[in-house]
Amino acid sequence: MPDDVYDLTIVGAGPTGLFAAFYAGLRQMKTKVIDALEQPGGQVAVLYPEKYIFDVPGYSKILAKDLVKCLVEQGFQYNPTVVLGERVTSMHRINGTIELGTDKGTRHVTKAVLVAAGVGAFSPNRLEAKGAADYEGKGVYYFVKDKGTFKGKNLLIVGGGDSAVDWALNIKDIAKKITLVHRRDVFRAHEGSVAELMKSSVDVKLFFEVKSVSGDGSNVTQAVIYDNRSQAETTLDVDAILVNIGFRADLGPIKDWGLQIDGREIRANGKMETSIPGVFVAGDIAGPQDGVKLNLIATGYAQAAMAVNVAKAFVDPNSKIFPGHSSEMKK
């Protein structure tokens, strides 16, 4: 086959895709990684680089950005071809190979594909309060790239999920003051984190929502919040507002690739095989039909290893699915 045909092309460079790239290299597969983002790491790198992750094997806790750094070092050690800032839009089987088309008009030809695209394309739910849109990038934030941005500031955090609670705990020691508003009295965050939040210095206001945001034109200076039971309003002096009220996820073009899809998940069997021969899936986007669905980084690692090993046998029928332990393999 031509030199530009790869053994395995991985769609997605999040933790699952990066670990898959490492394992494919370990199996001596000619590998390519494609991701729509301009940097590897997926949601971990974009949504919460400064947050600690506590459920990654081998670490009692690790900053998300440090985990990505380690995964990139591990995943790219076998020198896969890496294509960033390019979204895969189409997939077709042609003459025994699979051709992937992208939004840049390029084509990538491969013998097997591993879809590790997380939850697909994602975008934050916007704060609908009056004036909020006017101050995006001027004190209203949906992502945190550097928590130092909030040092010494009066910060309002909106939300009741893991992101809102974790950021409040993560930033409380460097911000001047943090107020967290949540529209209910039930949190979606981890119970232990909520318990820690309620004992912390964070001013938690339950049954409160944001009514309006205002500022001096260059930066936000005030927010009006209200009790959704009594409608009583309170005006807060704020330097920044961090909005964590969830994200919208969309499989986008993946829905048109001919795969069997349930909701936002690609159906797979226990070998991480999809309904199309040579196409595998791993991570949050995977919908294993005969197993438990757990959207964890640890689960993604395991699924990536299974998918790559089965893909190796698909590409080279003379190879074994299980190659032995890494300590016994030639590198």
Residues 177 and 277 in one domain: no
- pLDDT of 51 higher than 90: no
Confidence of residue 179 (pLDDT cuts 50, 70, 90): very high
Q: What average pLDDT does the segment 74-92 reach?
A: 95
Last residue of a domain, one of 245, 267, 291: 245
| Eight-class DSSP state of 273 | B
Tens of pLDDT, residues 101-134? 999 999 999 999 999 998 776 678 999 999 999 9
Across-strand partners of 212?
130, 224
Residues 257 and 198 in one domain: no
CA distance 214 to 221: 6
Which residues lie below 8 Å from residue 139, measured CB to CB, with a gap of 6+?
215, 219, 220, 221, 238, 239, 240, 241
Evaluate whether 77 touches 260 at the Cβ level (below 8 Å).
no
Evaluate whether 156 touches 236 at the Cβ level (below 8 Å).
yes
Structure tokens at 323: 């190659």
Residues 106 and 182 in one domain: no
Percent of the chain with pLDDT over 70: 97
Structure tokens at 109: 């030809």
Give one word for 298, left, alpha or beta, with left for phi > 0 and alpha for psi -120 to 50: alpha
CA R_g for the chain = 22
Last residue of a domain, one of 210, 245, 280: 245
Residues 154 and 291 in one domain: no
Long-range contacts of 324-327 (CB under 8 A, 24+ apart): 326/26
CATH value at residue 118: 3.50.50.60
Residues 53 and 159 in one domain: no
CA distance 102 to 297: 27
Number of domains in the chain: 2
pLDDT of residue 146: 86
Give the domain range for residue 152: 126-245
CA distance 261 to 265: 6
Structure tokens at 174: 């460097």
Give one word for 153, left, alpha or beta, with left for phi > 0 and alpha for psi -120 to 50: beta
Evaluate whether 228 touches 205 at the Cβ level (below 8 Å).
no
For residues 246 and 310, the model is more confident at 310
pLDDT of residue 2: 55
- pLDDT of 325 higher than 70: yes
pLDDT of residue 330: 55
Residues 117 and 252 in one domain: yes
Residues 107 and 255 in one domain: yes
How high does pLDDT run on average in the chain? 93
Q: How far is residue 281 CA from its own chain's centroid?
A: 16
Nearest to 118 by CA among 11, 200, 196, 242: 11
Residues 138 and 224 in one domain: yes
Tens of pLDDT, residues 203-260? 999 999 999 999 999 999 999 999 999 999 999 999 999 999 988 777 889 999 999 9
pLDDT of residue 90: 96
Give the CA count within 13 Å in the CB-facing half-sphere of 272: 29
- pLDDT of 3 higher than 70: no
Residues 63 and 105 in one domain: yes
Last residue of a domain, one of 212, 245, 278: 245
Percent of the chain with pLDDT over 90: 77
Residues 201 and 252 in one domain: no
Residues 241 and 253 in one domain: no
- pLDDT of 291 higher than 80: no
Residues 9 and 117 in one domain: yes
